[in-house]
Amino acid sequence: MSKRGLQTLAERNLFLRLNEVNLHFCKHCVISKQHRLKFARIATKSKNILNLVHSDVWKSPELSLGGARYFSLFIDDYSRILSEYLIKRKANVLPVF
């Protein structure tokens, strides 16, 4: 809630034992309320399968039944086919690719 909103509630005596709101400036609060700009839309698309592959590696909070801690995602830009592979170590991403 904003400082002004808290002051309004205090002026209306809606807080028990609180008549005045005195908040210090918080740089982190101001930064967290700023909006980020959206990513620019790119109109280009690959012309063939496997011309452009998007990938990411994620760490799971839990171990899989096979003992894998990470999973690697590959998305083909042309066909939008998604492939997911469970891996035990990050070093195993290249062989999976």
More confident residue, 22 or 81: 81
Q: Is the pTM of this model over 0.85?
A: no
How many angstroms separate the CA atoms of 3 and 5, rounded?
5
Q: How far apart are the first and last CA of the chain?
A: 48
pLDDT at 68: 94
pLDDT at 79: 93
User: Tokens for 72?
Assistant: 């690697």
Q: Quick: pLDDT tens for 50-69.
A: 999 999 999 988 899 999 99
With contact defined as beta carbons under 8 Å apart, do 87 and 68 qualify? yes
Using the 8-state DSSP alphabet, how is residue 77 labeled?
Answer: T
